[in-house]
Amino acid sequence: MIHIQHNKAIKNYTTFGVPVKAKKFTQFSDIQELKEVASHLEVLDEEMLILGGGSNLLFTKDFDGVVILNQIKGIEIISDNNEEVLIKSGAGENWHEFVLYCVDNDYAGIENLSLIPGSVGASPMQNIGAYGVEIKDVFHSLEAFHIETGEVRVFNKEECNFGYRESVFKNIYKDQYVITSVTFLLTKKPIFKTSYGAIKAELEAMGVEELSIKAISNAVINIRSSKLPNPKEIGNAGSFFKNPVIKKEQFDELIKNFPEIANYPLPNGDVKIAAGWLIDSLGWKGKRIGDYGVHKNQALVLVNYGNSSGGDIYNLSTDILNSVKQTFGIELEREVNIF
Ligand code: FAD
Ligand code: NAP
């Protein structure tokens, strides 16, 4: 039986922690309850927001609609042999706890994605990625509830059309489906991915002699804990901007003026630019305005030190976008979902 709350403060349901209210708030823990929500709330007539861990969104004002918290739990082994395991997780499971469950059971593939906040159900939304691994590398399928018809559809990898922090659920199917479970194909014969970022150095500092997925997971946890603000202490939603990808010709011009620019050539010839480098080089890193600003260790992360509004943080992001555009001619894109 679902319960609908009105005028609910939702600050504590998001990692940015800005003070906003939702006109209506409810939650579901299985498909039956989700069906009830869909029919009882006449959601089709109201703006609706499916909420996971609230770690990739920013509310700039009170939400004039229904916020619906996904609480579908449960982890199930679908098949298991000497080589690989097919594992299904309810969308409302916590992502990092799911990673630890897999690591502890020697199911390899997502150890590099340790300590990413949020829910399993949101992981395909933007094809979460870190340290050279993306969800698409281990994704098998997902189940999603179509809000308009109430039908549950299975999406395979191709149908999700994953890209860099992208999927169909962020564009053509935006606000049409609720992801209810995700199934991953993990391996028992790990291929260790340690070449990215500071992983190797951290493994060395930890004194690791025999590589394991547990060691990699711990290394990633250590690096992230030292570099990124903990949302329980300082409000944030991780990287506020995506890394821009530009054409080789544009890059060749840019590097003449900015020879230090942090860049990563992609297999198709385009070049990925580290957005953090662009923002840092313009002096934004560590800048604080009142109760909000840019994190001191990570220029991509905008932070709420306690009492700032979503509007203030959004305006700061616009100022950063404009200054990057003015100096480098590059249009940054926000990664965080704005409401
Ligand atoms: P929410 O913020 O609750 O929702 C995000 C969007 O997805 C919203 O539009 C929401 O409506 C929609 N949504 C959520 N669940 C569902 C569902 N079940 N069905 C349909 N739509 C849904 N991201 C990375 O990719 N890599 C990182 O390394 C990374 N590091 C981070 C570090 C920090 C400190 C923080 C705060 C964030 C980081 N993020 C990172 C961003 C964020 O953690 C991920 O995007 C995460 O997957 C968001 O999950 P969530 O459950 O909190 O989603
Ligand atoms: P980092 O290791 O300091 O690297 C800076 C940037 O350079 C990253 O954005 C990364 O791109 C890119 N990069 C580094 N090494 C690379 C390589 N070998 N090949 C290609 N690109 C490379 O980054 P960080 O800030 O500490 O973050 C570490 C990882 O966690 C990154 O993968 C980052 O995406 C992820 N992260 C994501 C969020 C989020 O909210 N989305 C928040 C924190 C951290 P990519 O971003 O494309 O990987």
The residue extents of the domains of the chain are 5-70, 75-227, 235-338
Average pLDDT rounded to a whole number, residues 318-330: 98
Ligand nearest to the CA of 54: 1
Examine the residue annotation and report whether 79 is marked as an active-site residue of this protein: no
239 given a catalytic annotation? yes
Ligand 1 environment, Cβ below 6 A: 15, 49-57, 70, 91, 116-119, 121-123, 125-126, 128-130, 178-179, 228, 231, 236-238, 337
Average pLDDT over residues 215-220: 98
Task: Return the pLDDT at 262.
Answer: 97
Catalytic residue among 93, 165, 167, 317: 165
Residue nearest to ligand 1 atom 34, measured at CA: 238
| pLDDT of the residue at 43 | 56
- 252: Cβ contacts below 8 Å, ≥ 6 apart: none
Structure tokens belonging to residue 176: 């049409």
pLDDT of the residue at 39: 84
**pLDDT computed for residue 197 by the predictor:** 75
- Domain 5-70, classified CATH 3.40.50.300, yes or no: no
> CA dist 214 to 40, 93, 100, 130, Å?
45, 20, 9, 16
Exposed, middle or buried, 77 (CB in 10 Å: 0-12/13-18/19+)?
A: exposed
Q: SS3 of 133, please? A: strand
14: Cβ–Cβ under 8 A, 6 or more apart, which residues? Answer: 54, 55, 57, 58, 59, 237
Q: Of the bound ligands, which one is closest to the alpha carbon of residue 144?
A: 1
Q: Which atom of ligand 2 is nearest to the CA of 262?
A: 7
Nearest to 273 by CA among 238, 296, 299: 299
Ligand 2 pocket member 274 (CB < 6 A): yes
Ligand 2 atom closest to the CA of 195, numbered from 1: 18
Each residue of 143-190: pLDDT tens digit? 999 998 999 999 999 999 999 999 999 999 999 999 999 999 999 999
Which residue of the set 119, 167, 239, 308 is catalytic?
239
Rounded Cα distance, 302 and 306, in Å: 13
Tell which residue, 144, 132, 252, 291, has the closest CA to residue 196: 132
- How does DSSP assign 6-20, residue by residue? EEEE-GGGSSS----
Per the annotation, the verdict on 224 as an active-site residue is no
Q: What is the pLDDT of residues 256-268, one digit of tens each?
A: 999 999 999 999 9
Indicate whether 42 pLDDT > 80: no
Average pLDDT of the residues of the chain: 96
Question: Which residue puts its alpha carbon closest to atom 48 of ligand 2?
Answer: 130
Question: Ligand 1 pocket test: which of 116, 241, 242, 243 has the largest number of ligand atoms within 8 Å of its C-beta?
Answer: 116
Architecture label for domain 235-338: Alpha-Beta Complex (3.90)
What mean pLDDT is predicted for residues 104-117? 98
Dihedral angle, C-alpha 323, 236, 196, 130, nearest 10 ° = -110
Q: How far is the CA of 131 from the centre of ligand 2 (A)?
A: 6
Residue nearest to atom 28 of ligand 1 (CA): 130
pLDDT at 44 over 60: no
- For the chain, give the percent of residues with pLDDT over 90: 94
Residue 196, pLDDT score: 87
**CATH among 3.90.1640.10, 3.30.465.10, 3.40.50.720, 3.40.50.2300 for 75-227:** 3.30.465.10
| Segment 285-312, tens digit of pLDDT | 999 999 999 999 999 999 999 999 999 9
Nearest residue (CA) to ligand 2, atom 4: 197
Q: Which amino acid is at 333?
A: E
309 vs 301: CA distance, rounded Å: 16
Q: Is 262 exposed, middle or buried (0-12, 13-18, 19+ CB in 10 A)?
A: middle
- Interatomic CA distance for residues 154 and 151, integer angstroms: 10
Q: How far is the CA of 258 from the centre of ligand 1 (A)?
A: 33
Distance CA 316, CA 10 (A): 22
Q: Is 253 a residue whose pLDDT tops 80?
A: yes
**Nearest one of 23, 35, 2 to 10, comparing CA atoms:** 23
Q: Model-level pTM?
A: 0.96
